[in-house]
Amino acid sequence: MAKRMNKTRCLVNSCIVSSPIGNLYVRVCKQGLHFLSQSDETVGDNFQPDKSQEVRIICSEDGKSAQEQIAYTVMWLHTYFHEIQALPNLALPSMCPTVGEGTFRGKVWNKLAEYVGPGCTVSYGELAKVSGHPGAAQAVGTAMATNPFQIIVPCHRVIRTDGTMGQYARGTRNEVKLWLLEHEGITGHKISHIKC
Ligand SMILES: [Zn+2]
């Protein structure tokens, strides 16, 4: 009998994946990601990036239901950190549609993931506009602060209209934002506003 996943009751597996920006916590169901983020304990003061760190699973729950999603996410993250030039050829890891479904935040996350690729930036205001709510720059800021899919929904590519970086993780991890932007080739004291 074909199994059907009840959208409201996903069977979620968790794992921890090493990366150049530290360990990433991943939660995933068969439909896709529920969560991907650095630990809450990672803040600017203790951020110690290591560009040579491999991306691999270092700890995983026994559950096997979302193995394929986890494997794809690890492969995608490896490409992001170590072969970024190949990233545009890869589809984004699936995000479970139940996360943020029917909300403004969810819409903004999807638009950002879809339209703003590596090495590109967008302003809060522009992202509000492409999300169909011009003038909602502040709400976009909130959507970024609550983004559950770090890197995959690239909130680090959302910067201020004047070209300054803006906050990351409500200002607690601005160093991480800068590292990610530099990793993508966006450098300088003032980030130039590149549209793609
Ligand atoms: Zn799910």
Q: Where do the domains of the chain lie?
A: 13-89, 104-183
pLDDT at 44: 81
What is the chain's mean pLDDT, rounded?
Answer: 88
CA atoms within 13 A on the CB side of 159: 23
pLDDT at 193: 46
Report domain 13-89's class.
Answer: alpha beta
* Among the listed residues 62, 71, 63, the one whose alpha carbon sits nearest the alpha carbon of residue 17: 71
pLDDT at 1: 43
pLDDT tens by residue, 145-154: 999 999 999 9
Q: Which tokens in the block code for residue 62? A: 């026994």
pLDDT at 3: 47
Architecture, CATH, for domain 104-183: Orthogonal Bundle (1.10)
Centre of ligand 1 from the C-alpha of residue 192, in Å: 37
Rounded-to-integer distance, Cα 196 and Cα 14, Å? 34
40 pLDDT more than 90 = no
Centre of ligand 1 from the C-alpha of residue 2, in Å: 18
Centre of ligand 1 from the C-alpha of residue 93, in Å: 13
* Among the listed residues 89, 83, 76, 168, the one whose alpha carbon sits nearest the alpha carbon of residue 121: 168
pLDDT tens by residue, 60-112: 876 677 889 999 999 999 999 999 999 989 999 999 999 999 999 999 999 99
pLDDT at 60: 85
Centre of ligand 1 from the C-alpha of residue 67, in Å: 13
Active site (catalytic) residues: 155
